C-alpha cells in the first residue's frame, strides 16, 4: 500500500509483525534482522534499509531485550563499526517470518481470485497504520492536471467529497484515474472548525453535526459527523472551543486546505 504527497512522506505498507508477549517487533525491524544476516554488520544493515546506525543499534537492543533468547550477537573489532551475526534462534525467527509473509501474500491473491477485491481494499484501509487522524476511503471523481500540480477530487460516503492538490509526478506514480479507489488522509491539527461555511481560500468545507467534544488542558478534540457518515476529527485550542461554544449536536464545518490532503492508493 503506497502513499504519496507533494511533501514526499514516503511509503506505508500493510505490515506483518512479531510479538513477544506484549511487545511487538515491527516489519521494519524484521527487515533489519534480515539485513544483518545478509551484510554481517549493524552499519551495513542500517545502510541497506535506510536506517541510521544509532537507530539500528537501538532497534537491535530492543529486539534482544524483548526476545526469549539473544537474536543478534555482536562481534567487536570488525570494519565499519564491528560485525554482527544472527544467533541460531534469530535465523529461525526470520525464516518463520519469511514464510508468514509469503502466506500473507497468498491470502491476498486468494481474495482477488475469488473476485472480492473490494473486500481486500476495505481490509487494507482498516489495517493501514498512519499518524494522520483522518483517513477516508473513496473513489476518484475527477482529476485535473496543471503544469506542475494536479487537482484530485475524491468521492466519500454519501455525496461528500474532498479535494487534494498533489504533484503530477505523484499522480503518475500512483497511476491515478477517474473511478480508481483511493484514500484521503488529513492531520487533525490541519483542520479549522467553523460553526458554518465561511469565506476562505481552503477548497474543502465539510459540514455536518458535532459528534463529540473532548476537552484537554491546552487543546480540544472535535469530531464532526458528515452527512454521508464519515467522521472528521479536528484538534483546536481550548480557547477556540470556548469561543465557538461547540457541543454535541451543533452544526459545524471542517475547513481543510487542498494542499493538506494526502492521497494514497493500494499497490
Rounded CA gap, 176 and 259, in Å?
Answer: 17
First vs last C-alpha separation in the chain: 5
Question: Confidence class of residue 176 from pLDDT cuts 50, 70 and 90?
Answer: very high
Question: Confidence class of residue 141 from pLDDT cuts 50, 70 and 90?
Answer: very high
Average pLDDT along the chain: 80
**C-alpha pair distances (Å), 143 with each of 8, 54, 171, 204, 225:** 20, 43, 9, 16, 26
Question: Confidence class of residue 257 from pLDDT cuts 50, 70 and 90?
Answer: very high
Rounded CA gap, 173 and 8, in Å?
Answer: 12
Q: DSSP assignment, residue 125? A: H
pTM of the predicted structure, to 2 decimals: 0.54
pLDDT for res 37: 92
pLDDT for res 125: 52
pLDDT at 80 over 50: no
CB 188 within 8 A of CB 133: yes
Question: Confidence class of residue 108 from pLDDT cuts 50, 70 and 90?
Answer: low
pLDDT at 181 over 80: yes
CATH fold, domain 7-113, is: Arc Repressor Mutant, subunit A (1.10.10)
Q: What is the mean pLDDT of residues 168-172?
A: 92
pLDDT for res 179: 94
pLDDT at 8 over 50: no
Rounded CA gap, 60 and 147, in Å?
Answer: 46
The CATH label, of 3.40.50.10300, 3.20.20.140, 2.40.50.100, 3.40.30.10, for the domain at 131-267 is 2.40.50.100
CB 161 within 8 A of CB 168: no
Mind giving me the DSSP string for 66-111? Answer: HSSS--EEEETT-TTT-EEEE-HHHHHHHHHHHHHHHHHHHHHHHH
Q: What is the mean pLDDT of residues 188-193?
A: 92
Q: Which residues contact 134 (CB under 8 A, 6 or more apart)?
A: 184, 185, 186, 187, 188, 191, 232, 233
Rounded CA gap, 149 and 165, in Å?
Answer: 6
In the chain, what percentage of residues exceed pLDDT 70? 76
Q: Which of 38, 43, 34 is CA-nearest to residue 83?
A: 43
Rounded CA gap, 191 and 93, in Å?
Answer: 43
pLDDT for res 5: 37
Q: What is the mean pLDDT of residues 209-221?
A: 90
Q: What's phi and psi for 183, nearest 5 deg?
A: -120, 145
Rounded CA gap, 104 and 121, in Å?
Answer: 15
Query: Cell 457541543 maps to which residue?
Result: 247
Question: Confidence class of residue 114 from pLDDT cuts 50, 70 and 90?
Answer: low
List the chain domain ranges. 7-113, 131-267
Amino acid at each position: 500500500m503506497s502513499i504519496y504527497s507533494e511533501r514526499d512522506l514516503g511509503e506505508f505498507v500493510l505490515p506483518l509483525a512479531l510479538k513477544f508477549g506484549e511487545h511487538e517487533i515491527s516489519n521494519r525491524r524484521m527487515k533489519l534482522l534480515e539485513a544483518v544476516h545478509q551484510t554481517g554488520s549493524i552499519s551495513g544493515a542500517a545502510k541497506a534499509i535506510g536506517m541510521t546506525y544509532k537507530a539500528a543499534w537501538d532497534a537491535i537492543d530492543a529486539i534482544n531485550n524483548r526476545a526469549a533468547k539473544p537474536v543478534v550477537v555482536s562481534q567487536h573489532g570488525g570494519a565499519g563499526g564491528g560485525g554482527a551475526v544472527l544467533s541460531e534462534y534469530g535465523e529461525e525467527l526470520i525464516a518463520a517470518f519469511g514464510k508468514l509473509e509469503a502466506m500473507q501474500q497468498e491470502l491476498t491473491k486468494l481474495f482477488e481470485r475469488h473476485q472480492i477485491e473490494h473486500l481486500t481494499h476495505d481490509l487494507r484501509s482498516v489495517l493501514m497504520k498512519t499518524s494522520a487522524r483522518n483517513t477516508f476511503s473513496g473513489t476518484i471523481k475527477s482529476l485535473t492536471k496543471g503544469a506542475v500540480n494536479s487537482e484530485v477530487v475524491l468521492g466519500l460516503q454519501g455525496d461528500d467529497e474532498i479535494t487534494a492538490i498533489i504533484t503530477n509526478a505523484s499522480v503518475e506514480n500512483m497511476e491515478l484515474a477517474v473511478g480508481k479507489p483511493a484514500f484521503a488522509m488529513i492531520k487533525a491539527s490541519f483542520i479549522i472548525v467553523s460553526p458554518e461555511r465561511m469565506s476562505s481560500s481552503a477548497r474543502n468545507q465539510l459540514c455536518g453535526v458535532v459528534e463529540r467534544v473532548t476537552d484537554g488542558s491546552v487543546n480540544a478534540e472535535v469530531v464532526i459527523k458528515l452527512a454521508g457518515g464519515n467522521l472528521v476529527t479536528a484538534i483546536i485550542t481550548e480557547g477556540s472551543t470556548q469561543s465557538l461554544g461547540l457541543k454535541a449536536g451543533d452544526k459545524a464545518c471542517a475547513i481543510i486546505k487542498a494542499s493538506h490532503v494526502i492521497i494514497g492508493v493500494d499497490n
